[in-house]
Structures are given as C-alpha cells and as structure tokens.
Amino acid sequence: MIYETQDYSEWQAYLRRLRAERMYDESSLRFDTLCGRLEHPTTYRLSAPVPAGSSVTSSPGT
C-alpha cells in the first residue's frame, strides 16, 4: 500500500501531487474506495503491485 486516508480532500491532494511528480506509472496503480457504513468511515486507498522477487516487510499490526 502506498497511501490510505479517510479524508476525501487529502485523497484528492495526494493524487494531484502524485500525478504532478510522475513517481509511478498510473496504469499500474490500484485505486480503491472502501465504502463506509455507520460503524466504519469511507476509506480511500492507493496501492501498487510488488515486483516478483522483491522482499516485502510489513509494519506491526498489518
């Protein structure tokens, strides 16, 4: 995962900055909107595939 937020304006600002910096090939990115309900707010998530053979470490709690 590259970025995650529950704030739509932060999400939009991050995407504008990402596009301006051209750090990633946008066609390889995954944009998810996890629809919220009463108990869980809507979450916006940006992720990218991990190249084969790369070592991936996860943070505690993930």
- Does position 60 have pLDDT exceeding 70, yes or no? no
- Does position 61 have pLDDT exceeding 60, yes or no? no
- Give the predicted TM-score (pTM) of the model: 0.70
Whether residue 43 lies inside any domain: the answer is yes
Beta-carbon count within 10 A of 31 CB: 11
Whether residue 21 lies inside any domain: the answer is yes
Spell out the residues 6+ positions from residue 28 whose beta carbon is closer than 8 angstroms to its own.
48, 49
Range of the domain at 36: 3-47
**Phi and psi at residue 33, to the nearest 5°:** -120, 110
pLDDT, position 30 = 93
What CA–CA distance (Å, rounded) separates 50 from 56? 8
30-34: strand order across its sheet = 3-5, 43-47, 30-34
pLDDT, position 62 = 46
Q: Helix or strand or coil: residue 37?
A: coil
Whether residue 56 lies inside any domain: the answer is no
pLDDT in tens, 3-58: 999 999 999 999 999 899 987 888 889 999 999 888 889 999 999 887 777 665 55
